[in-house]
Structure 1
Amino acid sequence: MEPVLFGCRFLTQYYKQLPLLRHIIKWTYFGVTTGVIAGLGVTLFLQLLAWAIAVWTQVPYYYFFIPPVLFLNSLLVQWLAPGISGGSDKMVEAIHQKAGYLPLAEVPVKIIATVITIAAGGSAGKEGPAAQLGATLASAWGRFLQTTDADCRQIVVCGISAGFAVVFGTPVAGAIFAVEVLFVGKILYDTLYPACIAGAAGYYVAYFTGISYVYRDIIIESSCYLAMGAIVLGLLCGAVSVFFIKTIQQCGRHFDRLQLTKPVKALIGGIMLTFIAHFISPLYLGLSTELLETGVHGDSIPAAAFFWKTVATAVTLGCGGTGGIIMPVIVVGTAAGNLFGQLIGSVDIQAYAVIGMAALLAGAVNTPIAAVIMAAELYGSDVIPYAAISCLISYIISGHRSIYPSQMIATGKCPAFLTDTGNTVRCAGKTQAGASKNPLQVSRD
């Protein structure tokens, strides 16, 4: 009799686990297929961008051509797809308010406009467009499969993960970024598994189709001085995050106030970028990979690099240039960390540059965990404790601000900010002034 009872109990427990097994199988399939689709699309985008940059930068004094190129680029966008304005924040907004819907028809124009902007010398990033491209392809895939709105949202998150992972070669950080970037103070743990699968799938697709990645383990000797330096750098990066976000916003508002057509605004922005390149330095144009690599290597870079890179990015995006904002955040953070190491006369300038990179990403994007993991994947595990300290401080200091205004505030960063809970970052602090809360309410569990 006992074997029969044992067998019944076993079958009962087995059937209770079947929904979990079905869930794993379902989201493994969705994660792999979404990762492969997004990985192929983003890989094509990166190869096209690399080719365009290599060709265009061979032109002597290429930055003198930025004004007419941005003018023509703006005409192209205005003619073919005026709806692509709004940048990478659109993917966050789509998940919160549009059930993950992102129009596929805009993808070709978005890719071409981004490639033209960055290759010509516009200070913008490739990570944001890559994540948005992955999200858009994932949205189309979810609609093709006729999934529910809830499933489509999760598939779009998988696309963000794959896009981020392909650009950096950091599949784990890509997954964490995708589930962390949507909310301030909340992580979508139910989406973490498919996001990890999609990030890994996208990464291997890119790797086997010719995208190469450079990983550099930096050796850090543990010390109290470095820990104290990380605390101070976290405070500074929080302040720089606020400066960066405010500069981007104010520059955009100033261009919006101009009673001019969008192509003319782009022409003016191009003239300003040419001025920066000719009279300050061309280091602040495009992706600024040379500035980033020099800073991370520990060599000295211009003291005002973080300032001019911020200004160049604000002008590029404010005048209507198409591109992402995460890469400029990373470059500005690296420059700030490098400068901090120089000012205190530290021998750990390389470490401070990496910590600054992660801390500014945490403060400006509200993704402290993804920032720490990305630093570890790119530069080794020695940086983790110091980056964690700095990232969390920067995240708190930046307050309810973000380069993605559509982020939802799930939990306030401190008790004084709890009234912002349930709002978007865009509406933070305005509830008591009469602004209505976002209709999407967020639970605190």
Structure 2
Amino acid sequence: MQLKNNTLLSLLMQWIILGSIVGVVVGSTTTILLESNDFLGDDIRLKHDWLIFLLPFAGLLIGYIYMRFGKVMFNHSQSDTSELNNLVIKAVHGQKQVPKRMGLIVYLGTFLTVLFGGSTGREGAAIQMGGSVAATVNQLFKMNNIDKKVVLMSGISAGFGSAFGAPITGTVFGMETATLGKLKWEAVLPCMTASFVAHFVTTAVWHHHHEIFTIAVVPETSVKIFFIVILLSIIFSLVSVLYCQLRHGIEKISTKLFKQNHMKRAFVGGVIIAILTWLIGSQDYNGRGLQILEQAFTEDVPPFAFLAKLIFTAITLGTGFVGGEAIPLFFIGATLGNTLHAFIDLPLSFFVALGLIAVFSGGTNTPIAAFLLALEMFNGKGLEFFFIACVISYLLSGTHGLWPAQKIYEPKSKLYQTKLGETIKQAEKRKKR
């Protein structure tokens, strides 16, 4: 018995130490990402509108980087960093490996995308940097195949937790992202350690301040309010599906049209974004769009802002530019909630917050993490409404999602008739056949 206790204690200490190492490195690199994006996106791009017309050439450079340096052979299998989060998810499943260079590549790609006006977020780069750091830790400590997956999950947790100032969410996000209907609880300690340490490093050590979104008023619970929340959650879920389908559709068409030439894809995508920006006469939908996102909580925004952001982001990421999709999902959901508020007399900030969380839940297929994000982001206000929104949006998004590499271990409903262990991509292909 004493031997078992000593073995368990040593294992727990191992995960705490490894999680801390991942957290310190990822927290520091994420801070560089956040501060650099603020500088490039707010202090430079917004003050120099003409930079948008250089986006096609930034696309050429990003495409060249991925074609020249992004493909690495591991054990007779090619790992392509242009798969972004999907590559990290495949590595968690043991199908691929994350190259150590992936972090640097995605940083350069994200900086170029943000500086020249592509519509993108930030958590993608943080998660992929987390995967890159985890891959380095795996190699240094010669981890076995099972433990490698756990370390990779902790890298995902550290990236998300530090990127959004949400360490509890980050813990579960790393465990929930790779699979639908299955949580690997063996990973909870390293994921929690990595997420909390990374968050501490970002905020307490490097003093980065995250955006704050506030719900002014939460409506009283009633049958009527619950009915409205359910109805809204259905709408938010359908919009998340629309974004995912459009984004993957553009990626599939552009890849086939340009025969997997990332340079040509991104150049054309950059031209389209530049033309759309010129036609609209505003750069509200370029970059991260944090100003409009924050505005949505307090005052009216253009009624079709959610649709514009949806299209801009789908084209940007679908043609090979780099970045995250959480903030665009936040933007889409929040501005859609702002628009729907005009038809129902309920507090504006409540509508906006509900949309932000529900669209994120449906798009990422992470309902538990989305609910925890609502608790951390909005200080526990309206938790019963957010719980319902997360569950309904997740259920109704079906076999759709941001990341086709996600595996389905438990179907959301028997109506979907998915096969055990198949990916979202495989389920979609089989459904079309």
Question: How far did residue 167 of structure 1 move?
Answer: 0.8
Instruction: Indicate conservation of the 8 Å contact 1:94/1:102, yes or no.
Output: yes
Aligned pairs for 1:6-405 (under 5 A) are 12=1, 16-53=4-41, 54-81=43-70, 83-98=80-95, 101-207=97-203, 208-218=205-215, 219-224=217-222, 225-259=224-258, 261-280=261-280, 281-295=282-296, 297-344=297-344, 346-405=345-404
User: Displacement, 1:44?
Assistant: 2.1
Question: Could you say what the CA RMSD is over the residues aligned between the two structures, in angstroms?
Answer: 2.0
Identity within the alignment, %: 26
Say if 2:180 and 2:410, in contact at 8 Å, map to a contact too: yes
What is the CA–CA distance in structure 2 between the aligned matches of 1:315 and 1:216, rounded to whole Å? 27
For 1:197 and 1:330, the matched residues in 2 are separated by 26
Task: Tell me the distance in 2 between the aligned counterparts of 1:130 and 1:275.
Answer: 30
Superimposed CA distance per residue, residues 313-334 of structure 1 (whole angstroms, 9 cap, x where no aligned partner): 1111122212222221121111
Change (3 A) 1:50 1:217: closer
Instruction: Report deviation, 1:15.
Output: 5.0
Alignment CA distance shift 1:264-1:417 (3 Å):
closer
TM-score, normalised on structure 1? Answer: 0.89
Q: Please state whether the residue corresponding to 1:220 is helix, strand or coil.
A: coil
Alignment check: 8 A CA contact 2:177 2:366 kept: yes
How many angstroms does 1:55 deviate by? 2.2
Residue 284 of structure 2 aligns to a residue in which SS?
helix
The residue identity in structure 2 corresponding to 1:195 is C
TM-score calculated relative to the size of structure 2: 0.91
Farther-moved stretch of structure 1 (102-111 vs 230-239): 102-111
Q: 1:250 to 1:430 in 2, by over 3 A?
A: closer
Q: Is the 8 A contact 2:213 2:294 kept in 1?
A: no
Amino acid across the alignment from 1:39: G
Comparing 244-253 with 226-235, which one deviates more in the overlay? Answer: 226-235
Per-residue deviation, 1:403? 0.7
Partner Cα separation in structure 1 for residue 426 and residue 372 of structure 2: 29
Asked if 1 retains the 8 angstrom alpha-carbon contact of 2:354 and 2:389, the reply is yes
**1:102-137 CA distances to partner (integer Å, 9 max, x unpaired)?**
101233222111110122110111111111111111
- Contact 2:106 2:128 (C-alpha < 8 Å) held by counterparts: no
For structure 1, the 5+ residue unaligned runs are 1-11, 435-445
How big is each residue's C-alpha offset from its partner over 1:346-381, in whole Å with a ceiling of 9 and x where there is no partner?
241211111111111111111011111111111121
Contact 1:39 1:162 in 2 (8 A): yes
Shift of 1:39: 1.3
Deviation at 1:432, TM superposition (A): 8.1
Does structure 1 conserve the Cα–Cα contact (< 8 Å) formed by 2:101 and 2:132?
no
Where does the alignment leave 5 or more consecutive residues of structure 2 unmatched? 72-79
Change (3 A) 1:315 1:95: same
Aligned partners of 1:334 and 1:159: how far apart in 2? 28
CA separation of 1:233 and 1:166: change in aligned 2, threshold 3 A: same
Of structures 1 and 2, the larger Rg is shown by 1
Give the deviation of 1:227 after TM superposition.
2.4
8 Å contact 1:298–1:338 — kept in the other structure? no
How far 1:267 moved relative to its partner? 2.3
Q: Deviations over 1:78-122 (max 9, x none)?
A: 3343543112111101111337x3101233222111110122110
Give the Cα separation in 1 of the matches to 2:294 and 2:28: 27
Say whether the 8 Å CA contact 2:175–2:184 is kept in structure 1: yes
Q: In the aligned structure 1, how far is the partner of 2:248 from the partner of 2:336?
A: 20
Distance 1:320 1:355, change over 3 A: same
User: Structure 1 counterpart of 2:85, which letter?
Assistant: S
Aligned residues: 419
